[in-house]
Amino acid sequence: MATAIHNGPIVVLAGGLSHEREVSLHSGRRVAQALREQGRQVIEADVNAELVEIFESLTNPVAFPLLHGGVGEDGGLQQALELLQVKYVGSTPAASRRSFNKAVCAPLVARAGVTTPKRAVLPHDMFRELGAGHLIKALGRQIGYPMMIKPAQSGSALGASKVENAADVPQAMVAAFAYGDVAIVEEFISGREVAAAVIEIDGVPQALPLVEIQPNSGVYDYTARYTAGATRFIVPAALEPSVAEACAQTALTAHKELELRHISRTDLIVRADGTPFFIETNSAPGMTKTSLVPLAIEASGLDFGAICAQLVDAAAAE
């Protein structure tokens, strides 16, 4: 049974004060325009002191949060919307916290049988108090080189570094700690980088065509993600059908285990032997012109604006 169309105003939330503000603004503009093209009433707003007044002035609004990093993905904004009794697109506060914190997310998904890299979680205080030298030696033994070092709570590859040897670990840890008090040290998995988006259609999660990511620089960092032409995207990814199915199932499993809602994107590395390794899941994926979820939606034959409108209708019906 199709969800009823929401005829009230849609407040597209973008901006915020995280390091990903500019990405968020681009996502917000694209979604707002797509919804207007669907004939919906759209108001664009930032998260500031005026936001509560905006919601109080509207009748039956639905929020479409497109903030990335920090307050947009850690459940804080979602909690505020629930306190204000505003319905919204996306996952609940608890589910958002689970997916945004990499120290929590990967173990939860691994518990469901999904393959994940070896990892260690190190708070800044522990790294300082026990002595960097001792811990670096232990990381070399337990994780091995090369390794990835990244913040436990950040997006867009900010603060993430590939480390080839022990001498480079301190600098990589400093880069990770610049974005939070906890760092993830993870086994580096060599392989093909793939994104698997999940959207809920009439309440049923469905995996979209996989997007394979081939950055020109060899590293899918912030610049490669948001600079037009800096990365080649292959969609659907050129994988063996059985491998593609395993990737899709991994994304669906992550969506379910993390109790996500409406939309998510799972990032994977497919090793040469065809094994997909779960890296992370994003509950508020980017919607810019170079973002992966819109590419997957278009490759599936669905209309981006129609999907955005459907997500709003689903949120209104919650």
Residues of the chain whose pLDDT is less than 50? 1
Residue 187 has a pLDDT of 95
Residue 318 lies in a domain: no
CA distances from 78 to 32, 199, 309 (A): 19, 19, 19
- What domain count does the chain have? 3
CATH number for position 229: 3.30.470.20
Residue 219 has a pLDDT of 65
Residue 4 lies in a domain: no
Same domain as 108, residue 254: yes
Same domain as 289, residue 145: no
Whether the model clears a pTM of 0.75, i.e. scores above it, the answer is: yes
Length of the chain: 318
Residue 223 has a pLDDT of 67
d(CA 316, CA 318): 6
CATH number for position 168: 3.30.1490.20
Same domain as 245, residue 108: yes
Residue 179 has a pLDDT of 86
Could you give the angle at the alpha carbon of 79 between the alpha carbons of 74 and 80, nearest 5°?
A: 115
Same domain as 201, residue 139: no
Same domain as 225, residue 76: no
Range of the domain at 264: 98-115+190-301
Same domain as 174, residue 40: no
d(CA 123, CA 128): 9
Same domain as 204, residue 102: yes
Residue 5 lies in a domain: no
Residue 54 has a pLDDT of 96
3-class SS letters over 242-287: HHHHHHHHHHHHHHHHCCCCCEEEEEEEECCCCCEEEEEEECCCCC
Residue 157 has a pLDDT of 72
Same domain as 293, residue 221: yes
Same domain as 127, residue 70: no
Q: Which of helix, strand or coil describes residue 98?
A: helix
Residue 317 lies in a domain: no
Residue 210 has a pLDDT of 98
CA distances from 120 to 40, 152, 179 (A): 46, 11, 17
Q: pLDDT (tens digit, 9 = 90+) per residue, 236-264? A: 999 999 999 999 999 999 999 999 999 99
Asked if 154 and 148 touch (Cβ cutoff 8 Å), the reply is no
Report the mean per-residue pLDDT for the chain: 91
Same domain as 284, residue 196: yes
Same domain as 148, residue 285: no
Same domain as 137, residue 42: no
Residue 270 has a pLDDT of 97
- Sign of the alpha-carbon torsion through 81, 1, 294, 197: positive
